[in-house]
Amino acid sequence: MQMLLNVNNIEVKYQNAILVLKGVSFSLTEGKIVTIIGANGAGKTTTLKAISGLLHTEDGEVTHGSIEFNGKKIDRMKPEEISQMGILQALEGRKVFEHLTVEENLRVVANRGTKRIGIKKNLDKIYNYFPRLKDVKNLESGYLSGGEMQMLVIGSCVMASPRILLLDEPSLGLSPILVKEIFAIVKKINQEEKATILLVEQNANAALSIAEYGFVMENGRIVLDGTMEKLKNNEDVKEFYLGLSRINERRSYREVKHYKRRKRWLG
Ligand code: ATP
């Protein structure tokens, strides 16, 4: 099976001083949904920004290793060049043009896809995935609810016909019902658009409900990876990432491993 994206042992620093990613490697198989789960501050967003090139806008840099898309090195490329190649990042915190209507926002980002199928067809496609957006298409985006805003952010990326869609915590601040609805649409987009999806999430339950393969990230490193089945059945992942009721008191996967080893040694 062909690897669409290869992240090879990257190290990322901000301001040439703050080391955040400490040798991260993984690959994306074309057409699959892959997730990176991890707690706050693990380095998930930084990983996405390294791929999309947005790191450069924050004085961040890949200081070691490389990122290849379709065999081409992209870690030195500008964000606009990377998005032109079809790698689109839906930003955490839902950034849209608040004074533009929903439809104006969608029109603004239309580029690659629109050239191919025309703006009307492209808009219809987005409204088909997100019927709610059609209902509010003339509303100024600043007035949207959290869920509608998330739909607009994802819809805007789909408008540009992504080869790879990078999703940064789409579940953030949404009710469980909305999370379920939006994740089901993400799955549909993956299947119908043949878009490869890299989803980063703190909500491991939701992420593993649609991803086929996952990575667990802690403190700038990948500490575990496996198929959705393997991760869902892993005792430590169950305890520390899927035990949502204990989300605030969980320790790290590494600490647990260490703790378990010590327990074994102590009998
Ligand atoms: P969250 O879920 O909170 O977004 P995350 O796993 O996505 O967490 P990152 O946002 O990648 O984590 O942050 C990883 C580390 O990098 C954090 O310690 C953060 O403070 C630091 N960091 C992120 N952006 C910058 C920046 N622009 N300048 C300096 N440090 C940064």
Rounded CA-CA distance 32/197 in Å is: 6
Q: How far is the CA of 21 from the centre of ligand 1 (A)?
A: 10
**φ, ψ for residue 190, nearest 5 deg:** -55, -45
Protein residue closest via CA to atom 8 of ligand 1: 41
Protein residue closest via CA to atom 23 of ligand 1: 46
Q: How far is the CA of 179 from the centre of ligand 1 (A)?
A: 23
Q: Which residues does ligand 1 sit against, CB inside 6 Å?
A: 14, 18, 20, 38, 40-46, 58, 60, 92, 202
Closest-lying ligand 1 atom to the alpha carbon of residue 169: 2
Task: Classify residue 53 by burial, with Cβ atoms within 10 Å: 0-12, 13-18, 19+.
Answer: buried
Provide the pLDDT for residue 139: 96
Q: Write out the chain's pLDDT in tens, 267 residues.
A: 568 999 999 999 999 999 999 999 999 999 999 999 998 899 999 999 999 999 988 999 999 999 999 999 999 999 999 999 999 999 766 678 889 999 999 988 765 555 566 888 899 999 999 999 999 999 999 999 989 999 999 999 999 889 999 999 999 889 999 999 999 999 999 999 999 999 999 899 999 999 999 999 999 999 999 999 999 988 888 887 776 444 445 555 565 555 444 344 433
Provide the pLDDT for residue 1: 59
Residue with tokens 């043009």: 97
Protein residue closest via CA to atom 18 of ligand 1: 41
Provide the pLDDT for residue 251: 54
AA identity, residue 138: N
Provide the pLDDT for residue 244: 42
What's the whole-model pTM score?
A: 0.88
Q: How far is the CA of 42 from the centre of ligand 1 (A)?
A: 7
State the pairing for strand pair 164-168/196-201: parallel
Provide the pLDDT for residue 266: 36
Protein residue closest via CA to atom 1 of ligand 1: 40
Protein residue closest via CA to atom 2 of ligand 1: 40
Probe residue for ligand 1, chosen from 12, 18, 241 as the CB with the greatest number of ligand atoms within 8 Å = 18
Closest-lying ligand 1 atom to the alpha carbon of residue 217: 6
**φ, ψ for residue 54, nearest 5 deg:** -70, -15
Probe residue for ligand 1, chosen from 45, 52, 200 as the CB with the greatest number of ligand atoms within 8 Å = 45
Q: Which residues are CB-contacts of 90 (< 8 A; sequence separation ≥ 6)?
A: 153, 154, 156, 157, 165, 166, 167, 168, 170
Q: How far is the CA of 253 from the centre of ligand 1 (A)?
A: 19
Closest-lying ligand 1 atom to the alpha carbon of residue 46: 11
Instruction: Characterise 219 by phi-psi region: left (phi > 0), alpha (psi -120 to 50), beta (else).
Output: left
Probe residue for ligand 1, chosen from 14, 49, 91, 201 as the CB with the greatest number of ligand atoms within 8 Å = 14
If you count them, how many residues does the chain have? Answer: 267
